[in-house]
Amino acid sequence: MLQRHQIQISMDGKGCYYDNIFVERLWRTVKYEHLYVQAFNNLKEVRSSLTCWFDWYNQERFHQGLNNQTPDEVYYQKLSRQQAA
């Protein structure tokens, strides 16, 4: 069915688990650093809180894997280099 609709499965060709590892790590971080340590009264609070958390995660939280830069710093550096080229 996927081939019939020209949809490619997001895999590296070997069916490797590496394709989802970054998303799995992100959601583990969200759960353990944010969701499990707070109490929410309704879904609206959860959504609002997650929006704030992701803004902080991308704009202010330094990441060892990114040479102690924020994701936004890395992304926008690459974007500005591409636009300059």
Q: What is the pLDDT of residue 39?
A: 96
Domain limits of the chain? 1-37, 41-85
pLDDT > 70? residue 83: yes
- pLDDT bracket for residue 38 (50, 70, 90): very high
Exposure class string for 5-40: b at 16+ Cβ within 10 A, else e: eeeeeeeeeeeeeeeeeeeeeeeeeeeeebeeeeee
Write a three-state SS string for 5-74: CCCCCCCCCCCCCHHHHHHHHHHHHHHHHCHHHCCCCCHHHHHHHHHHHHHHHHHCCCEHHHCCECHHHH
End-to-end CA distance of the chain: 41
The pLDDT assigned to 85 comes to 66
At 19, is the pLDDT very low, low, confident or very high (cuts 50, 70, 90)? low
At 40-82, the pLDDT tens digits run 999 999 999 999 999 999 999 999 999 999 999 999 998 888 7
